[in-house]
């Protein structure tokens, strides 16, 4: 994989259309935004996607980003889901939770119960 190949993949209109379709299927309210801002670079630079795209380019495939035998819908969907729905990925914390700081409601739900004071 090369940076040139990743750039070509990220700017491949057929590949971008497939990313938008996956974002729409996953319920994103603005699939074009999801594709252009959230998805195209991380998905294009994923090792399996970049390697498949590069192989197709080197094999003179005229439409590597639109050919689902090169980059399968399943490959795209797995990456789109991990980016748009990170909580659904094997219990991974949401992206906005940094340095083990849980939102207050979640922290309360996971906290040990406080012992009740003894009556005298």
pTM, two decimals, is 0.72
pLDDT digits (tens, 9 = 90+) for 25-84: 999 999 999 999 999 999 999 999 999 999 999 999 999 999 999 999 999 999 999 999
SS3 38: helix
Distance (Å, whole) CA 91 – CA 54: 33
Q: How far apart are CA 76 and CA 37, in angstroms?
A: 16
| Rg of the chain (C-alpha set) | 20
Q: Quick one: tokens of 44?
A: 């294009």
């Amino acid at each position: 994989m090369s940076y040139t190949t990743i750039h070509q993949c990220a700017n491949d209109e057929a590949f971008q259309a497939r990313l938008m379709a996956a974002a729409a299927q996953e319920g994103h309210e603005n699939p074009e935004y999801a594709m252009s801002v959230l998805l195209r670079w991380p998905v294009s630079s994923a090792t399996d996607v970049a390697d498949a795209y590069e192989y197709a380019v080197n094999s003179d495939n005229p439409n590597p980003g639109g050919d689902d035998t090169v980059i399968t819908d399943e490959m795209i969907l797995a990456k789109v889901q991990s980016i748009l729905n990170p909580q659904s990925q094997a219990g991974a914390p949401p992206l906005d939770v940094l340095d083990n700081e849980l939102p207050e409601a979640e922290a309360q739900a996971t906290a040990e119960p406080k012992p009740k004071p003894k009556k005298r």
